[in-house]
Structure 1
Amino acid sequence: MIHQTIYNVSIALCLCTLFAFVFSDSPEAMRDLVTDLPGQSGVRFRHYAGYVPVDKKHGRAMFYWFFEAMSLPNQKPLVLWLNGGRPGCSSVGYGATQEIGPFLVDNKGNSLQFNPYAWNHEANILFLESPVGVGFSYSNTSSDYKKIGDEFTARDAYSFIQNWLERFPAYRENNFYIAGESYAGKYIPELAEVVYDKNNENSSLHIKLKGILLGNPETSEAEDWDGWVDYAWSHAVISDEMYGVIKRNCNFSSKTTWDVKECKDNVDEVVKQYHKIDQYSLYTPTCNGNSTPSSSLDSTRFRTNLRNSKMMPRMMGGYDPCLDDYTKVFYNRADVQKALHASDGIHLKNWSICNDDIFDNWTDSKPSVLPIYKKLIAGGFRIWVYSGDTDGRVPVLGTRYCINKLALPIKTSWTPWYHEKQVSGWLQEYEGLTFGTFKGAGHDVPSFKPSESLAFFSAFLKGVLPALSP
C-alpha cells in the first residue's frame, strides 16, 4: 500500500481544479493523464504518460512520464531526468521507479510504495526514455537504430522537449533544468548545448534553461578510465602487481591503447574481479536471481566491446540488487502498460530496462564533454556534479580528475556538507561549477541516500550550497 504525503486537502483540490482549467486547451495532454495506475492510492498531484513524436517522417516517438510538483506546479521549475546505461537504459525504469519518482516499484514488481523523498516535492519532474529503442520509445524506420549516437540522441531529445511543451504550454515559462546520471553525463551537456544554441537562433522557441545536474557522470574518456583503474586498486579490488602493469602499459589518452595486449588483457582482469561483486555498489550484496543484467554480461562480450569501442562498457547494479528484475515485471504487465498509455493492454510492448543493441550499434560518442562544460560555464549556466563514493563503475576519482582538467578557480575549499546534523559527504565550489560527494552511496545515489539527495537537489535548484555545518 502506498503511504500518502500529508497535504491540506482543500488547497490540493483547488490546485487540481486550477490545472484542469490550464490544460483544457490541450486535449492531447488530457489524454495522457494517468488515472488508474495499479498500486497507486490517492495522491494530490497529477501525472501524465505517453508518446511524443520527434520525427513524423521516420515514425520516431519517445515515451515520457511526467509528474507535477506536489505543490505550486505553475511556479516550480521543470526538470528533465535522463538515465544513461551503457548507453541504452530506461529513465522510467531507473529514475522514475527506483530513484526519484513518487512511486517506487516493490515486492518483485507486484506493487508500488510511495517515495517520501520524491523529487517532485521541489520541481515538476519529466522522465524520458531516450534514445528511441530504449524502453517504450521507438522508430518505425529500422535504419534509425543503426544511426543512434550522441548527436542523434541530443537532436531527438531537443525535438521531444519542444513538442512536449506544445502539448503542455503552461510550462513554457517555467525555469528548466536537465538532470541525470551515468552515461547521461554525455547526454546532458550535449542536450544543454543544443538548447543553448537553438535559443540563440530562435527566441520564439526559447527554453528557459538555467542549469544541469550530473550524478556519477561519464565525462572524459581518459580521466574516467584512469579513475576507474585507480579506484579499483585503492579499494583493494585488484593487486598491486596488476595495477602496476596497467599503469605501465595503458595510456588512456591514446586511441591505440587497446592495441597494447598487456593493457587490454589486464583491464579485462579488472572486469573479471568486478564480476564477482556489484561494481556499482562495492559494499552491498549482489542479486541471486537468474536474469539480472550484472550476471548476464560475460567477459568475452565485454572484451569485444572494449576492443571495438572507446566508450566505457556498462555493467548494471543498484542498492536493492534485484530491482531491475522487479521493474521488468512491472512494466510488462498489461494493466500497467494500458494505464501509462504505452499500449492498449492487449498488444503488449516488450519492455526491458536496458537495450544492449543500442550500445552495440552506437555510432558516435564524444571523447570528452569538458569543452561543453566550458561553453556552458561561459554562458552563465549552473553546473553541479555529484558522486556516490562507493560506485566503482564511474567512480569519484575519475570525476575529480575530469573536474581538475578544467582548472577552475576555487570559491569554497573542500569541506563536509551536512544533512540532519550528520556529514553527508564533501564538496568544493569552483567558479562556474559545484562538486559534491555522497558518503556511502553507490552509483544511483538517490536509491542509497534518498533524504540527502533530495536536500542536495533542493539546494541545487535554489543555487545555494547545502548546509556546511551541523
Structure 2
Amino acid sequence: MDLVLKVLFVLSLVVMVFFEPLVDARYWHWSNEKKSDFEDLVTGLPGQPSVNFRHYAGFVTVDEKNGRSLFYWFYEATSLPDEKPLVLWLNGGPGCSSVGYGATQEIGPFLVDANGHGLKFNSFAWNTEANLLFLESPIGVGFSYSNTSGDYDNLGDDFTANDAYVFLHKWFLKFPSYRTRTFYIAGESYAGKYVPELAEVIHDKNNNPSLFIDLRGILLGNPETYDAEDWKGMVDYAWSHAVVSDETHKTIVQSCNFYNDDTWSNTDCTSGVEELLSQYKEIDIYSLYTSVCIFNSSSSQDKSSTLVRAKGSSKMMPRVMGGYDPCLDDYAKSYYNRPDVQKALHVGDGTSLRNWTICNMTVFDGWSDSKGSVLPIYKKLIAAGLRIWVYSGDTDGRVPVLSTRYSLSSLGLPIKKAWRPWYHQKQVGGWVQEYYGLTFATFRGAGHAVPIFKPSESLSFFASFLVGESLPSQR
C-alpha cells in the first residue's frame, strides 16, 4: 500500500512539473481572449425572453485621438455559432439606427412590444442562420458618438465606410474567433450605398494578408443605388400606383432631367416633385397600403418626405428614413431611453441617460459626401466573384421596385435564369431574375422594411442567400 501511495505521489509531481505550465498557458490564453467578451456580455436586459444564445453590446473606439466610438449589438447564432457565418447588418438614413430598425423591428431575436415596455421573441430572427452584428453608424446615430465636434462636419459615405472598416478590425480583437469567419454584409435603404462602399474598402485592403476579411457577398433590400434612376423610379411608381395625377406625372417627366443636377433649378421640376411628396405625406410612403401611426404624430412627421438641401450640393433630396411605422418607432424610442436598458447595454450607469433617437436628422442635414451611383462598385465586386443579391418589397414608395429595376438594368448584365415567380410555403413569395453576377427578387406585398411584412419569407430568402441556392421555383 505504501508503495502504491509513493507511486501516486511521484506521478502527481510529474503532472505538476510537466503539465501545469501548459494548463496555465491555456487558461491565460482563454482568459485573455474572452475577457473583452465578458465585459460586453448582455445580462439582465429588461423584458428579455429566455434564450439559449449569448449576445453582447458595447462600444468600439475607431479613433482614439478624437474619441470616436461606434455602438454595436452582436447576437450569436441560436445553434452552432462556431460553424455559422458572421453577417453585419446596416440601416441607412443617413442617420438611422440599425439597432432601432434592423435589430428591434425586423431581423433581430428581440422585438420591442407595444409602448416599449418589454421585448418579445422573434421566431423568424435571422440569427437562426448566422451570427448577427448590428452597427449604429456613423457617429451621431443611436448611441455612437465622437468627443470631437469637428468629426460631425466630415460625415459622408467615405467617412462612414472607413470608420466601419476600422470598427470591424477592432471588433475582431474583441472576438478573435470570428477573425477568419465567412463574412457577409447586409442592409437596406440608404445602406444600399453603405454596404457596397464598405465591401469595396474590404476588397481593396484584402491585398494585405494581415488585413484579410473573408467577405463572400452582400445583400441589399430596397436599396438606394443610382440617384437618377432612383428618382425616375419613384416618380413612375407614384403615378402607376395612383398617388399622383396624370398632370403631375407629365410635368415631372417633361421638366426634370434627373441625370443632371441642374434640373433642381427648374421651378416646374421642383414644384412637380413637391406635389408628389405632398401626396405621400397623406399616407406611409414606405408602405402604401397600411395605416399610418395616429398614436403619436412625431413618427409620421419625422418620416415625412420634406425636401431638404444636401450640404455642399445644389441638389434637393428627400429625407430617407430607415423603416416601417405605424408606431413601432415610438416603441423603440421609449425602450432605449430607459436607464435600466441603457445600463444593460453598457451605454449608461443606470442613472444618467443618453438621448437615443431612432433617426438623427442632424446627421442627414450635415451629410457632405454621397455617391450618385454605386453601380461601378457593383461591377467591381461582380468581377471579384462576390455574391450579390438585391431584393425589393413591392409596396414601398420611397425606394420602389421600379427604382431598383431601372438601376440594375443600367448594369446590362446577361440573364442566367429568366423572370419567374418564387415560392414560399406553396404561395408566390415574389418574382426573381438571376443574372450572371447578381440575383434580383421581389417580395409580394412587402413595404420598405421587408422582414416586418414578410418575416417567414425573408428568413427563407436569407437562408438561400447564405448558401447561394436559387429560390424555390415550384410550389
TM-score range, shorter chain: over 0.9
Does the Cα contact within 8 Å between 1:98 and 1:323 map onto a contact in 2? yes
* Structure 1 residue 295, shift from structure 2 partner: 2.0
What is the aligned counterpart of 2:67 among 59, 63, 68?
Answer: 59
For residues 69 and 105 of structure 2, the distance between their equivalents in structure 1, rounded to whole angstroms, comes to: 24
Matched residue of 1:195: which SS? helix
1:70 maps to a residue whose letter is T
For residues 187 and 173 of structure 1, the distance between their equivalents in structure 2, rounded to whole angstroms, comes to: 22
1:166 maps to a residue whose letter is L
Alignment identity in percent?
66
Q: Give the 5 Å matches for 1:276-425.
A: 276-296=282-302, 302-304=307-309, 310=315, 312-314=317-319, 316=321, 318-425=323-430
1:333 maps to a residue whose letter is R
* Structure 1 residue 305, shift from structure 2 partner: 5.3
Describe the shift of the 1:183–1:238 C-alpha distance in structure 2 as closer, same or farther (beyond 3 A). Answer: same
Q: Give the 5 Å matches for 1:187-266.
A: 187-200=194-207, 202-266=208-272
Does the Cα contact within 8 Å between 2:216 and 2:386 map onto a contact in 1? yes
Does the Cα contact within 8 Å between 1:52 and 1:62 map onto a contact in 2? yes
Does the Cα contact within 8 Å between 2:61 and 2:70 map onto a contact in 1? yes
Deviations 1:307-336 (A, max 9, x none): 956474225485551000000000000110
Matched residue of 1:113: which SS? strand
What is the aligned counterpart of 1:428 among 412, 426, 433?
Answer: 433
**Counterpart residue number, 1:49:** 57
Matched residue of 1:281: which SS? coil
For residues 235 and 145 of structure 2, the distance between their equivalents in structure 1, rounded to whole angstroms, comes to: 36
**Counterpart residue number, 1:33:** 41
Does the Cα contact within 8 Å between 1:68 and 1:123 map onto a contact in 2? yes
1:193 maps to a residue whose letter is E
Cα RMSD of the aligned pairs, angstroms, is 1.6
For residues 333 and 39 of structure 1, the distance between their equivalents in structure 2, rounded to whole angstroms, comes to: 12
Matched residue of 2:249: which SS? helix
Deviations 1:223-269 (A, max 9, x none): 00000000000000000011001000000000101000000111001
What is the aligned counterpart of 2:130 among 123, 131, 140?
Answer: 123
Describe the shift of the 1:350–1:139 C-alpha distance in structure 2 as closer, same or farther (beyond 3 A). Answer: same
1:228 maps to a residue whose letter is M
Deviations 1:371-395 (A, max 9, x none): 0000000000000000000000000
For residues 97 and 49 of structure 1, the distance between their equivalents in structure 2, rounded to whole angstroms, comes to: 14
**Counterpart residue number, 2:102:** 95
* Structure 1 residue 303, shift from structure 2 partner: 5.0
* Structure 1 residue 205, shift from structure 2 partner: 1.9
Larger CA deviation: 310-319 vs 259-268: 310-319
For residues 465 and 252 of structure 1, the distance between their equivalents in structure 2, rounded to whole angstroms, comes to: 35
For residues 187 and 30 of structure 2, the distance between their equivalents in structure 1, rounded to whole angstroms, comes to: 29
**Counterpart residue number, 2:8:** none
Deviations 1:116-138 (A, max 9, x none): 00000000000000001100000
Q: Give the 5 Å matches for 1:64-213.
A: 64-85=72-93, 87-200=94-207, 202-213=208-219
Matched residue of 2:261: which SS? coil
For residues 83 and 31 of structure 2, the distance between their equivalents in structure 1, rounded to whole angstroms, comes to: 15
For residues 27 and 307 of structure 1, the distance between their equivalents in structure 2, rounded to whole angstroms, comes to: 45
* Structure 1 residue 41, shift from structure 2 partner: 2.8
Matched residue of 2:72: which SS? strand
2:214 maps to a residue whose letter is K
Describe the shift of the 1:421–1:311 C-alpha distance in structure 2 as closer, same or farther (beyond 3 A). Answer: farther
* TM-score where L is the length of structure 1: 0.93
**Counterpart residue number, 1:15:** none
Does the Cα contact within 8 Å between 1:258 and 1:307 map onto a contact in 2? no
Describe the shift of the 1:309–1:185 C-alpha distance in structure 2 as closer, same or farther (beyond 3 A). Answer: farther
Describe the shift of the 1:373–1:311 C-alpha distance in structure 2 as closer, same or farther (beyond 3 A). Answer: farther
For residues 63 and 306 of structure 1, the distance between their equivalents in structure 2, rounded to whole angstroms, comes to: 26
Describe the shift of the 1:137–1:309 C-alpha distance in structure 2 as closer, same or farther (beyond 3 A). Answer: farther
Does the Cα contact within 8 Å between 2:73 and 2:135 map onto a contact in 1? yes
Matched residue of 2:37: which SS? helix
Describe the shift of the 1:296–1:186 C-alpha distance in structure 2 as closer, same or farther (beyond 3 A). Answer: closer
Matched residue of 2:216: which SS? strand
Matched residue of 2:380: which SS? helix
**Bigger CA radius of gyration:** 2
For residues 316 and 167 of structure 2, the distance between their equivalents in structure 1, rounded to whole angstroms, comes to: 25
* Structure 1 residue 89, shift from structure 2 partner: 0.1
Matched residue of 2:350: which SS? coil
Matched residue of 2:295: which SS? coil
Deviations 1:353-374 (A, max 9, x none): 0000001100100000000000
For residues 411 and 203 of structure 1, the distance between their equivalents in structure 2, rounded to whole angstroms, comes to: 34
For residues 113 and 79 of structure 1, the distance between their equivalents in structure 2, rounded to whole angstroms, comes to: 22
Matched residue of 2:170: which SS? helix
Matched residue of 2:340: which SS? helix
Describe the shift of the 1:339–1:242 C-alpha distance in structure 2 as closer, same or farther (beyond 3 A). Answer: same
Matched residue of 1:135: which SS? coil
Deviations 1:147-188 (A, max 9, x none): 100000000000000000011000012100000100000000
For residues 95 and 31 of structure 2, the distance between their equivalents in structure 1, rounded to whole angstroms, comes to: 32
2:439 maps to a residue whose letter is T
1:163 maps to a residue whose letter is K
Does the Cα contact within 8 Å between 1:292 and 1:324 map onto a contact in 2? no
Does the Cα contact within 8 Å between 2:101 and 2:322 map onto a contact in 1? no
Instruction: Structure 2: give runs of 5+ residues left out of the alignment.
Output: 1-28
Does the Cα contact within 8 Å between 2:307 and 2:316 map onto a contact in 1? no
For residues 81 and 298 of structure 1, the distance between their equivalents in structure 2, rounded to whole angstroms, comes to: 24
Larger CA deviation: 159-168 vs 286-295: 286-295
Deviations 1:193-240 (A, max 9, x none): 00001111x101211000000000000010000000000000000000
